[in-house]
Structure 1
């Protein structure tokens, strides 16, 4: 009988090669669907001034974004500097708006933007920034 040789490799975000910045960080949608694995913590990424979204530099960061594009039609928003086209990305399970780009083809632009409060690093736990406290105060006082 011929010899059968097999091997396997186990990978974990807990494994490091001595440098903590080489960790992979996993993020989930509020519905617990796996959405993002990236080489940096979201809270360490720069933020966009217009909407406080996390900025992922497509040239610098290594990441995998599990999201769908419900349509290839952009949403046009009025900004103080003019208009902005957003190609929105949604959770494949619950269709929550989680990210956007300003170019029609994924990762073809300089940045991908992650919407504040749309992801959590603890599966099944809603992050504190997912709920806008100012909106709740306005409705309580009405």
Structure 2
């Protein structure tokens, strides 16, 4: 009986205190799924002992199965922890990359810089009749080759810049020597309609050469004498010896001044607001000083909008008014 009790206690101790792998004890606290009581003292027969031995072996198998399950769960947990750590690391890297500003490095050398000199300048050419802007190029008209037939300047678009401000004038067929026909797609000035240039191809952008009519364009910026420049259309001669000047008023300025004279209008700045009558009085006084006229020799009329005015001048020609305005212009 004592041996049976001792063997039963020994069996209980072995099952409950079964060693657990050291790597599992950190996370899991192993507990025996079954509690084995001490063998009662009444068990004496051999069959009962044998049955108890069978129960012991079965419980050892169950214990081994539980241990294997715990090991599998531990491996699965480790795998999940590794995946979670990897995702957290990737998300933190992406967050830092979004916060970091994007930078682009450009390397330049002295060879990339534009060369100095007159060849790199831009030349602006205007209509000879109305002074309206027509052509911007990087070469001078005098340096362009000329055609033998009509002395037109040949502007090669493959070699030089060509920015045109024109209106299409249609196709014209001309008879040349030996019975040949020449096809021209002509271009006129936008403001006055003067024939200024032409091309051989119908499409302006695909045309490789632009022919500039001799004497149609001039560079007003290069003119030192105002008498050599044509009178712009904003200054027109009326019947009865009157001259009309189209004026654009820029109000709320620091002082009265003429800041621009071009083909469209003459820009004049005044200190008073344009909506009030003081602006008209200030404009007349300033124009009288510039033109050397009295208030009785000038009449101010409404223009196309609130800032547009028409000034009618007496006892002066359009050329005289233009020269006076050019002398007083302050850009």
Check whether TM > 0.5. yes
What is the alpha-carbon root mean square deviation over aligned residues?
1.7
1:11-59 Cα offsets, whole Å, 9 max, x none, are xxxxx95221001011100201011110000000000111000000021
1:1-142 map, 5 Å: 18-30=116-128, 31-71=130-170, 74-81=171-178, 82-122=180-220, 125-126=229-230
Larger Rg: 2
> Does structure 2 conserve the Cα–Cα contact (< 8 Å) formed by 1:39 and 1:62?
yes
Stretches of 4+ aligned residues off by more than 6 angstroms: none
In structure 1, list runs of 5 or more residues that go unmatched.
1-15, 127-142
> Does structure 2 conserve the Cα–Cα contact (< 8 Å) formed by 1:58 and 1:107?
no
In structure 2, list runs of 5 or more residues that go unmatched.
1-113, 222-227, 231-331
Q: With CA pairs under 8 Å and 6+ residues apart, which has the higher RCO, 1 or 2?
A: 1
Q: Which whole-Å CA distance do the structure 1 matches of 2:126 and 2:167 have between them?
A: 14
| TM-score (norm: length of structure 2) | 0.32
Q: Secondary structure at the match of 2:169?
A: coil
Q: Secondary structure at the match of 2:168?
A: coil
Q: Secondary structure at the match of 1:21?
A: helix
Q: Secondary structure at the match of 1:43?
A: helix
> Does structure 2 conserve the Cα–Cα contact (< 8 Å) formed by 1:29 and 1:35?
yes
- Offset of residue 109 of structure 1: 2.8
Which residue in the other structure is 1:11 paired with?
Answer: none
Q: Secondary structure at the match of 2:220?
A: coil
Count of residues in Structure 1 that have an aligned counterpart in Structure 2: 109
| TM-score (norm: length of structure 1) | 0.71
Bigger helix share? 2
Bigger strand share? 1
- Offset of residue 108 of structure 1: 1.8
